[in-house]
Structure 1
């Protein structure tokens, strides 16, 4: 493919955050992918591509079906379709070599024992969202931002209320460079429309520097 050729369309995908009660707070099921393949070595939520065979009448319902299927395939955990709460939708920048537009869902744990294959998934653990961030576990930006939202909510009920206030958030990523850092801009950031991260004002971005923890910034003005 030449640089001037149009990029192939992004493929739909889905991921599900399985949450369980932890003394008034909640823990989420976090998985570590193997060092080979997509998202190598990163911590992720159960999920994957939407298959043609996933049932549904529209993109969202097919993504929900994919989330249920992936939880069963990756960790042997049943997720009830009616329990899924839609959290967000992510669109990567056009420069990404592999592009997936991903729906993020949240669902309560049904009590099934977590089982992993030790090939694609090499570790699984229950962890509080704030602890996963504090430990500096390697993860992709959408996972990091999602953990911040979960930590802010504090509990499953709090998360439901937060989603009610914000609605289903859509993250269409605009990448920029500033002061040696990669800056990912999202809607409501003052630099989002222009792609200029130096513009003063509200912040909704992630700053990524080599060798340093990612920094998520979200302010109103």
Structure 2
């Protein structure tokens, strides 16, 4: 299944008493995308987001590839969706590029999603009641623990992002780390033959389908997420 559009996700950060905290939002349990999951603010990039970024909207379902155009529109969409879902106002240029996620071919809805980091701009979270039912500011470690305990449902990009954010002690270090590093693309591939586990692999894993094109991974290399129930394990060497 081909990609059907572009989306944006904003990882909002603040410094808490226990360290770096992120804002997670709970989706309704029975309807909508990621039903029942705790996610970062975000949503699909609309045609007006391209116009606000100074570009013509893409032609057709996805339009010709233009990463710079899509990234600029995604920043606008990320700020817009954050305001709509939480009431928090962010200038699009305050978003720091973090990563890009492409779902597995088996996914029912394939949107190329840009992830951004942003510092909490201040103010109270006011949820959009039609889209969200709860929110929480948590350290990445606390959110991951809740997932393991079955108290919080996460999706793979959220889980991996939280895992990687554990290396940052505060907002300043997280933003600096993202600003100095490349915007990494996670083009997900669902591996077969691991049932009852579900295993998603990315570049650098020896079983990644395009590994031969990217060069032979080192011995013992891993870049995958292994999922069994709420027991998930992200490996990256």
Could you say whether these structures have the same fold, taking a TM-score greater than 0.5 normalized by the shorter chain as the test?
yes
1:14 to 1, 8, 18: 8
Judged with a 3 Å threshold, the aligned counterparts in structure 2 of structure 1 residues 177 and 107 are, in CA distance, closer, same or farther, namely same
Output the CA distance in 2 between the equivalents of 1:85 and 1:47: 14
Structure 2 CA distance for aligned equivalents of residues 183 and 151 of structure 1: 22
Instruction: Say if 2:141 is the partner of 1:130.
Output: yes
User: 1:202 aligned to 182, 203, 221, which one?
Assistant: 221
**In the alignment, is residue 187 of structure 1 matched against residue 221 of structure 2?**
no
Show the 5 A alignment for 1:66-215.
Answer: 66-136=77-147, 137-164=152-179, 166-180=181-195, 181-193=197-209, 201-209=220-228, 211-215=229-233
Contact 2:26-2:39 within 8 A present in 1 as well: yes
Residue segments in structure 2 that go unaligned for 5+ positions in a row: 56-68, 212-217
Structure 1 residue 18: Cα displacement: 1.0
Structure 1 residues 98, 25: closer, same or farther in 2, change over 3 A? same
**Equivalents in 2 of 1:62, 1:25: separation in Å?**
32
Question: Equivalents in 2 of 1:216, 1:162: separation in Å?
Answer: 20
Indicate the RMSD between aligned Cα atoms, in angstroms. Answer: 2.0
Query: How many Å separate the matches in 1 of 2:18 and 2:144?
Result: 19
Q: Matches of 2:14 and 2:41 in 1, distance apart?
A: 15
Q: How far, CA to CA, are the matches of 1:163 and 1:18 in structure 2?
A: 13
Structure 1 counterpart of 2:62: none
> 2: distance between equivalents of 1:64 and 1:117?
20
- Tell me the distance in 2 between the aligned counterparts of 1:87 and 1:167: 8
- SS state of the match for residue 43, structure 2? strand
Give the Cα–Cα distance (whole angstroms) in 2 for the partners of residues 53 and 161 of structure 1: 30
Aligned to 2:76: 65
Instruction: Flag as ranges the 4+ runs of structure 1 deviating above 6 A.
Output: none
2:44 equivalent among 29, 46, 49: 49
TM-score, length-normalised on structure 2?
0.82
Query: 2:58 maps to what in 1?
Result: none
For structure 1, which runs of at least 5 residues remain unmatched after alignment?
A: 1-6
Q: How many equivalent residue pairs? A: 210
d(CA) in 2 for partners of 1:163, 1:170: 13
- Show CA shifts across 1:64-102 (max 9, x none): 000000011011100122221010000011221111110
Bigger relative CO (Cα 8 Å, ≥ 6 apart) = 2
